[in-house]
Structure 1
């Protein structure tokens, strides 16, 4: 499992390490000042004024180190921020490029999992650096002052590490259980909130709340088990550390003092430094356990980190000369959705494909887009085989859904989707889609609300159409685009779509008025014969 710190700026990691060294000197200063003062008192060296001067120098040094620690903590927070932003960028790019229809895993990954990685992985990896610096500096100072005691402390600190290994697999297993239950809980909350209106209509609030609460109980139970196991491991490690890394070495130090080999100041100094032999090692083992608990989440993040979008495809060139679906059959779950389907579409041709609900019309459009591959047959665009090839096929198409997705943002963002276009092209697309009046009235920065709550159904559809027109792609696919609208508005939308020049349209529908049918060049009944 690679370190998340590799995605932080290198200069910040260097600065963090140097500042951690300065911070570690705080403990050394306290121990060294204690040694000087106690030895001076024991052996009657100097006077009270000398002791006060030593204490003053030590206090001033501590204050200077405190000021340095402000910068240390700021750099630490900045590194965590940099890593978080990088991981969110790569993960969101991966999720969007993958175009998964399921929000369940992606939502949990972008929220709970990445937060767990921040708190249990990135933060602990930074703390391990600081703990190692503190340990090494204390060991060096200890060796200089009493190599015997220092070596004893160093050897005995290996004991907690052996104890820690016994807990590793158990912690990883419980982390996996928690992660699975956490995903289920996130989806349960998402379903409960999104389905609140439906639940309210049928007075099913109690059962829905119970479903979410039960999911929360399972998640919290798993989290409790994980936290308790980690805490229990920490307690056992600390007990062994106290026995083998404190009591026994202190006994040896007391014997050396009785034999006159060291003074009381040196003994107290080594005991003081021993905290920096023991605590950093104990902390490091606990931090390693916490890092290991993030492995299931990090495995998913690594998929995003190793993913790269295909940037080798050249931009589409040349004129659209036609689309052909040849003898296509598509099966799913052992059931044939459609068989031996043939379809040709000429440039600028407006075609209506009619079939009852459940026939597989949306599946056919996904097949044309290259999102799915037929069991048999081929799809050709401009004479080239693009069967099941999203990368090659999709930039020939724009798409109008029955229920377009609307961002909780401005009118302008919802049309542009963040793309850079000239004001002239934007104005042209808005005018062609019939949105000029809305823009003039509300303004480009008008907030449309969650799911377009501040817009009418017709305005939402026209935003989707403006997106399509703005792309200037040769073929527009319409999937039951107006079935949820009233007849008058449906006809107006169709006039907008079907009178657009230099645009082929393939619309699938199960119900449409005679006036709207008259706007198409060709009508194909997918259950049978063609219509004029």
Structure 2
């Protein structure tokens, strides 16, 4: 149940105010009974009638004030649960680090909103409706057990209708969830590919692709909502027939034979609406909850996810002695094709190593093996003579990473360097200087926004921000994956001077093309197997 992710004391208070809100219904029904029985008794005591009306009015004011607290608690619990779900899903998605923006965006926007309205809110309403049902049926039983039994038996009919329709609604919800994910991805593609579409004059086809997915999504949503709507209509029709018309007919017969007073009959009808309507509403809310099952399964995966308890950051004071790559080989999981084999080299603190191989050799894969995010088919990765092969939790903390196209957050320059970490001004100034960002910081300021994907920065500036991130992490080995291949020769040389003249870090760069001047800066150059792969 989603409500377990809200503070327990708030849920407890909410249930208290649910009880008070339910008492509002019982109080009004009881006061109507007293007033009608008095009016039909032949009494001419208007003062007593006014007194009862006054009590009813004062009581209604009290319950109205109480309902403000009920609504406040309800909205607060929804907010609390939403924040827990968003936090859990973000933690999970970031931890997985998969390039699946389609499902990720859909989950964090549309799916979580559907969970809010179709699950969290529905379950809160079900709590109130359940309490109202228990209160109304108990009070009705006290007043007329015969009529209560009749109404209870009659309420079985809408329950049967709900059972028949819930599975169909769940199937419709799955179709909508998939269509919605496709729509989200196509909109994202359209926005990100707008420049290419404009260049090749294909805007209509790109837009048509997104609009077609929108049509499929809207049709799936219409189908799901229509199914829920007609199911509710059938439930209400059955409820009106079996829960009102038939019982009221029986009640009329009892009243004709003097076995039931008019006030009691009206009270029973009013209470019946408040223990039969809750049943119908609970069925409706149950269907809403079922419609969110596909989204909730995704969220449960995130809620049940926990980080590896052994995963911790390597402290900057930990000594790094050496890295040894011993007879490393890799085969693809899908085709079992051998990408490379017999890779051997070692790196010591501050040593600058260049690994050269043709495009397609598997250089990026080699770096991922070193960080523990992929498993080798053969060989070992040793740090300080400890075998850490395929141990991401320990391996990745020894490495920082600079690639060809670093990701920039749509935030300030400060955030993109620190990634939100708290660092001293002195340390921040130091890495800014070492990364060659002094001029940029002086020109723009640390708190200036750099735009989506860093569109306010040049390619060289983006690479320097990535280097600053790496230096700030104070990890002993920096991996560079074709880091300067997209830059002009002058900028490439400047970036290499920044990286390779820093004595505090070891550098392992993979490249397929590099200038003689840049090669001269490395301590060792290793030419990997020149045999091209698939």
Q: Place the TM-score, normalised by the shorter chain, in its bin.
A: over 0.9
| Cα distance in 2 between the residues matched to 1:314 and 1:176 | 38
**Residue aligning to 1:86:** 84
- Change over 3 Å in CA distance of 1:289–1:528 after alignment to 2: closer
Cα RMSD (Å): 1.6
> 2: distance between equivalents of 1:322 and 1:476?
13
- Superposed displacement of residue 281, structure 1: 0.1
Aligned mates of 1:59, 1:192 — CA distance in 2: 59
Query: Paired residue for 1:498?
Result: 500
**Residue 307 (str. 1) matches residue 309 (str. 2):** no
Q: Which residue of 2 aligns with 1:199?
A: 197
| TM-score (structure 1 length as normaliser) | 0.96
Map 1:303-452 → 2, pairs under 5 A: 303-313=301-311, 315-316=313-314, 318-332=318-332, 333-334=334-335, 335-452=337-454
Q: Deviations over 1:178-209 (max 9, x none)?
A: 11221111111111111111111111111111
Cα contact 2:408–2:453 (8 A) shared by 1 = yes
Q: Which of 202, 209, 212 matches 1:211? A: 209
SS in 1 for 2:486: coil
Give the match for residue 31 of structure 1.
Answer: 29
CA contact 1:157–1:277 (8 Å) conserved in 2? no
SS of 1:324's equivalent? strand
Q: Which runs of 4+ in 1 moved over 6 A?
A: none
> Counterpart of 2:379 in 1: which secondary structure?
strand
Go from structure 1 to structure 2 and tell me whether the alpha carbon gap of 1:314 and 1:214 turns closer, same or farther (over 3 Å shift): closer
**Contact in 1 for aligned 2:340/2:529 (Cα 8 Å):** no
1:185 aligns with 2:183: yes
1:315 deviates by 4.9
TM-score with structure 2 length normalisation? 0.95
Q: What do residues 377-397 of structure 1 show as CA deviations (whole Å, max 9, x unaligned)?
A: 222222122222211110000
Q: Distance in 2 between matches of 1:414 and 1:512?
A: 28
Query: How far, CA to CA, are the matches of 1:151 and 1:263 in structure 2?
Result: 18
> Displacement, 1:124?
0.4
Give how far 1:313 is off.
3.9
What are the ranges of 5 or more consecutive residues in structure 1 without an aligned counterpart? Answer: none
SS in 2 for 1:166: helix
Matches within 5 A, 1:207-356: 207-313=205-311, 315-316=313-314, 318-332=318-332, 333-334=334-335, 335-356=337-358
Aligned length in residues: 527
Unaligned 5+ runs, structure 2: none
Alpha-carbon offset, residue 290 of structure 1: 1.0
Query: What does residue 513 of structure 2 align with?
Result: 511
* CA deviation vs aligned residue, 1:213-254 (integer Å, no higher than 9, x gap): 111122222222211222222122111111111111111111
SS in 1 for 2:508: strand
2: distance between equivalents of 1:62 and 1:51? 17
Contact 2:361 2:530 in 1 (8 A): no
